[in-house]
Amino acid sequence: MACEVKTTCPYCGVGCGVIARVDDDGAVSVKGDPEHPANFGRLCSKGSALAETLDLDGRLLHPEIGGRRAGWNEALELVAERFLQSIAEHGPDSVAFYVSGQLLTEDYYVANKLMKGFIGSANIDTNSRLCMSSSVAGHRRAFGSDTVPGMYEDLELADLVVLTGSNLAWCHPVLYQRLAAAKASRPEMKVVVIDPRQTMTADIADMHLAIAPDGDVALFNGLLVHLTTSGAIDQNYVSAHTTGFAEAFAAASALNLDGLSAATGLAQKQLRDFFRLFETTEKVVTCYSQGVNQSSAGTDKVNAIINCHLATGRIGRPGMGPFSLTGQPNAMGGREVGGLANMLAAHMDIEKSLHRDQVRRFWGAPAVASKPGLKAVDMFRAVADGRIKALWIMATNPVVSMPDADVVEAALKACPFVVVSDILRDTDTTRHAHVLLPSLGWGEKDGTVTNSERRISRQRAFLDAPEEASADWWQLAEVARRMGFSEAFGHASSAEIFAEHAALSGFENDGRRDFDIGAHASIDRAAYDCLEPFQWPQPKETAPQEGRFFADGRFYHPDGRACFVPVQAPKARLADDALPFTLNTGRVRDHWHTMTRTGKSARLSAHIAEPFVEIHPSDAQTIGVADADLVRIESPCGTVIVRALVTARQAPGNLFAAMHWNDQFASKARIDALVPPITDPFSGQPASKNVAVKAARF
């Protein structure tokens, strides 16, 4: 019998609902779920091609030890034994998990519980560190919690949508479709795109500001000063609900209009026009993504944006607010379970003894980590220098995606014990594993994800588990039991884990913690199977707000106020004749991460078939490169050779290259091998958008 199952797309943070149909002959087809509030039936090219990526070619289907097939028990025993041995000989901080925004919340929850509550280290970090950790740090500084105030409907309700560091058309395509439809029906709605490149998103913009790399703090500081001097500040709101305005204004005033123009690369008229538009439009939403986050000043950029919304009281109301758009399907779920090395579970704070005690008592945990663990870049440094001796990587491919990727590969080669859980047998990362554990893929696994607007949706299985592949949470729980933690890891299903996760969020939560889905603490299997997409906060009698955060002007700092954060524009990188170009890394429309899934679809590969670098015609002429020539790009960290795409959409002096390809697709194609391990001092997020390189015809 043919069957249809409602599930969620596994790619970007939009979190679109998908209906998967399995016909009698086993053929799978997908369509958008018209009832899902994220997409109302829409899908983008990646989501539409999901059925083309489900074959078992290249799948890892059995555990392996040292390249030979092994049984589950033998593999799990070995993992537990080697982790216990390292902990006994070198302490809990000698082991680490590097996980992923591709994991389901239930997988993430068990990984975080094992590491932070039972191993007693906070050395669990995630590829979400590379994606949105600057937003997390900025939210916590401003709001006292990692609360995303935005909702997708804000893009339709706003009169001005500012997109900064966000190529929405390619990276969050269904949100772009919603925005474009809203603008078509209300042509008076304005869209401003702030991006060094003239992206496809800029094609619907009323104003495109081709900002200099890392010019965002200066731009939003200039906006704060303009709003203040033009009398657009909401003084009542600032007095009643915030602290620190004077300090933020003083910091923002450091640059005059000439200085702003120099720091942003924008003409004074462009600055004045943008400032005036923001000033005179009440309903403004400012969306930002990796162009803001992936910077050595990423957290300051986030706070510069939030400062402007706090100053005008444009937050917590329909069609208004700062809005971080997460890259991955479950970056938000990972944040909810505390999957970042500097967070505890359920949005609790690892540095607060009250929160550590609450988590300890809830879990019955012997050893809750008492300090933040190593963030991604530092974690791989610790692997490289031998401090970490046992590493478990789940659902991610850091040899392609981490900055300084060649050094990351060398670190894995030298690490005494590497476990990789993945769906594929042969990736740049699995090649360095001592133990390989086969995981379930999309359509086979079962759990929940949270999208960028805090909406929790089910991913449901509609295919049988192939051969010996198993859920990531099951692998973790089985290792935990073998490490002696049977009682706390007796979960029999993802439904049980979700119920425990929900219960922890509500445990002793008096409303001073933003994340509370405790209403689901007693959910049973049947209710979990039927769970409709829902957004938190959920209306309930005792909730201070209903549905929308900050509607009542109450924030999560102890005094209930939001904080303005004084931020100053970073110094521009000094001109270097040896490295004259600035490389900006990013994505293409039809591929996802390191292409382990989208690379299977010929249709998706037809859009852009090979690694490339965008270069402005004047720069191409200077270095003697024509369209489609091969170009060698070098940074102090590495070298790639990719094809030239000569286009005036790229600003002179700047290059753009996508991060998807690896050395299997083309020789020397790993773009992240060029990116130095420079990180934001607050978030630890790598600066992947502003890399000094040289380029020459190959």
CB of 48 to ligand SF4, least distance (A): 7
For residues 310 and 243, give the distance between their C-alpha atoms in angstroms, rounded to a whole number.
10
- Shorter beta-carbon distance to ligand SF4: residue 129 or 597: 597
Nearer to ligand SF4, 47 or 586 (CB): 47
To the nearest whole angstrom, how small is the minimum distance from the Cβ of residue 530 to ligand SF4?
22
Cα(479)–Cα(650) distance, integer angstroms: 49
Binding mask 502-531 for ligand SF4 (x = CB under 6 A): ------------------------------
Give least dist CB 29 to ligand SF4, A. 15
Q: How far is CA 453 from the centre of its chain?
A: 13
Order of all β-strands in the sheet with 64-65: 68-69, 64-65, 435-438, 417-422, 390-394, 95-99, 124-126
| Helical axes 376-384 vs 405-414, angle rounded to 10° | 50
Closer CB to ligand SF4, residue 16 or residue 504? Answer: 16
Nearer to ligand SF4 among residue 9 and residue 70 (C-beta) = 9
Selected from 9, 155, 193, 310, the binder of ligand SF4 by CB under 6 A is 9
Q: Which of 555, 687, 697, 593 is nearest to 290 (CA)?
A: 687
Range list of β-strands (E), 241-380 = 242-243, 284-288, 321-324
Candidates 622, 629, 626, 642; CA nearest to 581 is 622
Q: 575-634: which residues touch ligand SF4 (CB under 6 A)? A: none
Minimum CB distance to ligand SF4, residue 39 (Å): 6
Kindly tell me which of 11 and 245 has the beta carbon lying closer to ligand SF4: 11
Q: Smallest distance, Å, CB 321 to ligand SF4?
A: 21
Span of 8-16, 106-114, 453-461, 535-543 interacting with ligand SF4 by CB under 6 A: 8-16
DSSP 345: G
Kindly state the helix (H) or strand (E) to which residue 278 belongs, with its residue range.
Answer: helix 268-280
Nearer to ligand SF4, 545 or 605 (CB): 605
What is the residue-wise DSSP string for 232-261?
A: -S-HHHHHHHEE-HHHHHHHHTTS-HHHHH
Residue with Cβ nearer ligand SF4 (46 or 513) = 46
Nearer to ligand SF4, 181 or 626 (CB): 181
Cα–Cα distances (Å) from 585 to 17, 44, 575, 638, 695, in that order, read 29, 22, 20, 14, 15
Quick one: which segment of 5-13, 239-247, 312-320, 480-488 binds ligand SF4 (CB under 6 A)?
Answer: 5-13
Residue window 37-76: x/- pattern of binding to ligand SF4, with contact defined by CB under 6 A: --x---xx-xx-----------------------------
Alpha helices in 397-544 (DSSP H): 398-401, 405-414, 472-482, 494-506, 525-529
Position 132 contacts ligand SF4 (CB under 6 A): no
- Distance CA(286)–CA(336), nearest Å, equals 23
Distance from C-alpha of 162 to C-alpha of 408, rounded to nearest angstrom: 36
Specify the stretch interacting with ligand SF4 by CB under 6 A; choose among 7-15, 284-292, 432-440, 669-677: 7-15
Task: From residue 54, give the alpha-carbon distance in Å to each of 26, 442, 446, 676.
Answer: 11, 8, 16, 35
CB atoms within 10 A of CB 358: 21
Per-residue mark of binding to ligand SF4, 165-194 (x: CB under 6 A): -------xxx--------------------
DSSP string, 501-552: HHHHHHTT--SSSS---GGGTT--HHHHHTPPPEESSPP-TT-SSSSSTTTT
Nearer to ligand SF4, 50 or 418 (CB): 50
CB of 451 to ligand SF4, least distance (A): 8
> Could you identify the residue written with the tokens 């000063």?
225
Q: Report if residue 16 touches ligand SF4, rule: CB under 6 A.
A: yes
Measured from the CB atom, is 226 or 455 closer to ligand SF4?
Answer: 455
Q: Does 11 bind ligand SF4 (CB under 6 A)?
A: yes
- Render 26-47 in DSSP notation, one character per residue: S-EEEEE-TT-TTTTT---HHH
Least gap, CB of 180 to ligand SF4 (angstroms): 13
Nearer to ligand SF4, 432 or 597 (CB): 597
Total residues at interface with ligand SF4 (CB under 6 A) = 14
What is the C-alpha separation between 376 and 334, in angstroms, rounded?
14
**DSSP designation for 59:** B
Report the residue number whose CB is nearest to ligand SF4. 47
Cα distances from 18 to residues 9, 30, 629, in angstroms, run 6, 7, 40
- Neighbouring-strand partners of residue 287: 163, 323
Does position 14 interact with ligand SF4 (CB under 6 A)? The reply is yes
**In the complex, what is the shortest distance from the CB of residue 440 to ligand SF4, in angstroms, rounded to a whole number?**
19
- Name which of 432 and 593 has its Cβ closer to ligand SF4: 593
Q: How far is the CB of 448 from ligand SF4 (least distance, A)?
A: 15
Q: How far is the CB of 660 from ligand SF4 (least distance, A)?
A: 14
- 695 token code pair: 């380029």
Query: Which residue, 11 or 536, has its beta carbon nearer to ligand SF4?
Result: 11
Site for ligand SF4 contains 12 (CB under 6 A): yes
CB of 571 to ligand SF4, least distance (A): 36
Q: Residues interacting with ligand SF4, by CB under 6 A? A: 9, 11-12, 14-16, 39, 43-44, 46-47, 172-174
